[in-house]
Structure 1
Amino acid sequence: MLGFVWKQFIRTHKGPFKENLTWNTDFPCLRQEPGNNLCGYYICEHMHSFLGPKGPKMTPHNFKMLNIQQGLLKEERVAAICEGLIGFIMDEVVNPTGEFYYDGRQLDTPLSNTTTGRS
C-alpha cells in the first residue's frame, strides 16, 4: 500500500523524490508481543486524533483538507487519506526537522510487558 501511495504522492507533488520508496526497518524500537493485533488500530487512532480538528497541528490547510475528505465518495476518500498519510510521513518522519524523524539514537526499551501487565 505504501508503494501505491508513494507513486500517487510523487505524481502530485514536485520535488527531488526517488521513483521507488525505500525504508529501513533495521533499527532498535519497541516491538509488540506476538499475537497482539492492536498496534495498527492504535497507530491509526492516534494519527486521526493528532491530525483531526482538535490536534495540535491543525492549520487552515489541514482544516480545508479535512472538509474535502469528509465530502468525498468512499474510494476517493481512501485516496485522499492515503495522500495525507504519505504527506505526514514525508513532513514528520522522513524530514530531518520533523517531529518523528529517527536520528539513529538508541530508543528506550520496555522494562515489562505493558500489554498484558506481566513482567
Structure 2
Amino acid sequence: MAHPVDVHVGKRIRHRRWLIGMTQQQLAEQVGIKFQQIQKYETGANRVSASRLWDISDALDVQVSFFFEGLQEDGKEVSADSKLMPDDLMGDKEALDLVRSYYAIPENQRRRLFDLARVLSDAA
C-alpha cells in the first residue's frame, strides 16, 4: 500500500504538470526517465527519490517544498471543507482545466472575472 506522503507528492506532481500543460512524456524526457515512471510517481505507486524530486521541481519550475504543501506534520493531507469543495480538487481534471483557462486570460480581465466570481459565490 502506498504511503500517504508518496500519494500526496504524486498528486502535486500531476497537478503542476497538468497546470502548465506538460505531458507525462515531456516531463519524463526533461528528467531523463520513461513516462511510465512518471505515472508511477503520480499515483504514489513508487516513491520519488530526493535527487529525482529535485530534477522534477526544476522541470516544473517550482521549489521542492511545493510538493509537500498541504501536508500535516503526521504526513496526512489537510482535508478541504467537504461542503465547499472535493478533497482532491487538484485531482479534478475540470477544476484544473478551469484554472489553466483562468490564467490564460489577460491580467486586467482576469481580475474582473475573479471579482465577478466572488460576488456570485457570495450571492449563492
Q: Same fold (TM over 0.5)?
A: no
Instruction: Return the structure number with greater helix share.
Output: 2
Tell me the TM-score normalised to structure 2 length.
0.25
Tell me the TM-score normalised to structure 1 length.
0.25
